[in-house]
Chains A and B, each alone.
Chain A
Amino acid sequence: MTPTKQFLCFGIATALLFSCGRSNQPLGTVLRIEAPLGLPAATAPTDNPPTVETVALGRKLFYDKKLSADGTVACASCHSPEAGFADPRRVSAGIGGKLGTRNSPTVLNAAYSPVQFFDGRAKTLEEQAGGPIANPVEMNLPHEACVTKLNADAEYTKLFQAAFGPGVITMTKLERAIASFERTLLSGNSAFDRYFFGGDLTAMSPAAIRGLELFNNTKKGNCAVCHRIGAQNAPFTDGKFHNIGVGFDSDGELTDLGRYAQTKDERDKGAFKTPTLRNIAQTAPYMHDGRQKTLKDVVDFYVGGGTSNPQLDAEIKELKLTGQERADLVAFMESLTGEAPPNSGPPTAGLQTSGLQK
């Protein structure tokens, strides 16, 4: 909304005065996000185009522990830039050291995911952003308390007004700002991207190249059946849910029903969203419950054919791979580490928007 339109709105009717001030629509300078080599074009919802202001605000919020009940946990606590925007702990710890049940997935390239969370319970990044803030085992700050806290903060009041226009801070605005920042967290141009999409045949090691072939070979690794590589770009996920045989207790019962909790469809028991493999070497441990410590462990897991259960995906079966082939697959996954996105670390000295890409 331009200032002129704002003025018009202001003048039209008193009844509209408040609704005008309450708009959750971002204002300011629209930011063009360039997708790095290997990634699809960046997209954003029409009601939340990333702007210089919302992205900078979202970045501040992402790193701010104020968003937790006792000021100890930020989004970045479990999505740390030092750990590929994931969590090196098996499962994440919320306030008071409360443990969750899943390993934090990376936020890098989450913008491309058709749904969010391992069970897909949020459709958008906006919807996702509010979840952990209120979750009792994560940041434990109910949304009402969250906006009250931020509205009492002069700096945030100023920043939200710069990003969304006049009016109080709302969860919608907060979620939109965080989502917009996350849409800038794109990481590509990995050795694989330079080899496969950039034509630089020296970018990948011979072991990684052999690994790529095994990755695609349906009679060998068969990894690409879910971790997709396209002709123009490679998301390394199909965005779907699969039961790959992970997450059973001593008696062989599922400890986490996964997607089933959302759909109540029997076939979804123990199914989890295929995570991207981009930056996977940075985001150990692995699987939705972080039970596999290394990429070698993950390859071995797939060689074993998972754990038998009624919902096991038909694509999961024992693999015949030599030791060399297993090592090659690891080398390939190590070639998927992309460049760190610019302006993605903690904001220093308040808010700097000047360095952002425009």
Chain B
Amino acid sequence: MRQLLVAVFLLSACTSNPEKKLATPSTTEIVYAEVDPTISGIISGTVMFNGKTPPRKKVDMDEDPQCAKLHKQAVYNDSIAANGKGNLANVFVYVKHGLEGKNFRLPADAVTMVQKGCWFEPRIQGIQTGQKFQVINSDPVTHNVHPRPKINREWNQSQESGAVPLIRRFSKPEVMVRVKCNIHGWMKAWVGVVENPYYAVTTADGNFELKNLPPGKYTIEAWQEELGVQEQEVVVPPSGKQTLQFTFKGE
């Protein structure tokens, strides 16, 4: 009898052990990269479009007359947003390599995408892995937020007029995650998910700026929704300022 009791005791001790191990989370604390502002540098630059600007495509909102009614003027789908001087807007520029192994604190603020006028605003934006991604429906119609990632988890959420904002996160880096609305075929957006805070979207003048970079050697990638990607290597010395120019060729 005593033997049996001991055996039972041992058995239970045995089985409980691995559980204990599982229940104890890793105690390794995340060490965040601290950037010394006295020696940090800047990469800025311009993205150009070299070619004939394709004719603007008018958006057909026939799928939903309620959406069409929200616009007094024609809406255009500017997938290549170049101005007369060839400056290219809406290009996502970010640090692709050079910061591996560094952890960056997450901004407390969410990155927000709004559905307004049956249009995603903004069309192109960046976010850090794990940062809050907020989606708002400001329209009087039912929308549907459907990211189509290849690396992150795919999800699809209906969001009716007046619904509470959605809060999601992308857990893995992925440039870019395409977002669509299943209800309104013309609605498109892209979210660049990166593990660092060094990303930008070119302005109407095609400009970008990556500030407060620790000195180092970096690969900078520029992504354009139709024209693909380009990358350049650059060394940022302490307190250095580097200027880059990317040129995308059209037809």
Contacts and interface: CB of A to CB of B under 8 A. Distances in A.
Nearest to A296: B66
A208 B79 CA distance: 38
Contacts of A3: none
Contacts of A300: 64, 141-142, 144, 183
Interface stretch (A92-100, A143-151, A246-254, A272-280): A246-254
Contact of B183 (A249, A251, A304): A304
Interface stretch (B165-173, B194-202, B204-212): B165-173
A293 B154 CA distance: 28
A297 B161 contact: yes
Interface string A119-132: 00000000000000
A305 interface: yes
A249 to B, nearest CB: 7
A246 B66 contact: no
Contact of B158 (A245, A249, A327): A245
B167 to A, nearest CB: 5
B168 A303 contact: no
Given A249-B164, A293-B161, A323-B64, A308 B182 contact: no
Interface in A268-292: 291-292
A307 interface: yes
Contacts of B154: 308
A202 interface: no
A297 B142 contact: yes
Q: Is the interface of A mostly helix, strand, loop or mixed?
A: loop
B58 to A, nearest CB: 16
Interface in B23-67: 62-66
B160 A308 contact: no
Contacts of B232: none
A187 B58 CA distance: 47
Interface string B136-162: 000001111010000000111110110
B139 to A, nearest CB: 11
Contacts, number: 71
Indicate the member of A250, A300, A301, A306 with the most B CB atoms within 10 Å: A300
A325 to B, nearest CB: 9
Given A300-B141, A303-B183, A322-B62, A248 B157 contact: yes
Interface in A41-99: none
B80 interface: no
B8 interface: no
B163 interface: yes
A252 B168 contact: yes
A301 B64 contact: no
A250 B160 contact: no
Interface size class of B (residues with CB under 8 A): 20 to 34
Contact of A322 (B63, B161, B168, B183): B63
Nearest to A250: B167
A296 B63 CA distance: 12
B161 A308 contact: no
A250 B182 contact: no
Contacts of A245: 156, 158
B179 interface: no
A155 interface: no
Contacts of B181: 304
Contacts of A227: none
Contact of A297 (B65, B156, B160): B160
Contacts of B166: 250, 252
A323 B182 CA distance: 13
Contact of A308 (B143, B157, B163, B164): B157
A292 B157 contact: no
A326 interface: yes
A308 B142 contact: no
Contacts of A303: 144, 182-183
Nearest to A312: B156
A66 to B, nearest CB: 36
Interface of B: 62-66, 141-144, 146, 154-158, 160-161, 163-168, 181-183
Given A248-B157, A250-B166, A305-B158, 8 more contacts: A300-B142, A301-B142, A301-B144, A304-B158, A304-B182, A308-B156, A318-B156, A326-B63
15 contacts: A245-B156, A245-B158, A250-B164, A252-B155, A297-B160, A297-B161, A301-B142, A301-B144, A303-B144, A304-B144, A304-B146, A304-B181, A306-B156, A322-B63, A323-B62
Q: Which 8 A/B pairs are nearest by Cβ-Cβ distance?
A: A304-B144, A300-B142, A304-B182, A308-B156, A323-B63, A307-B157, A297-B142, A318-B182
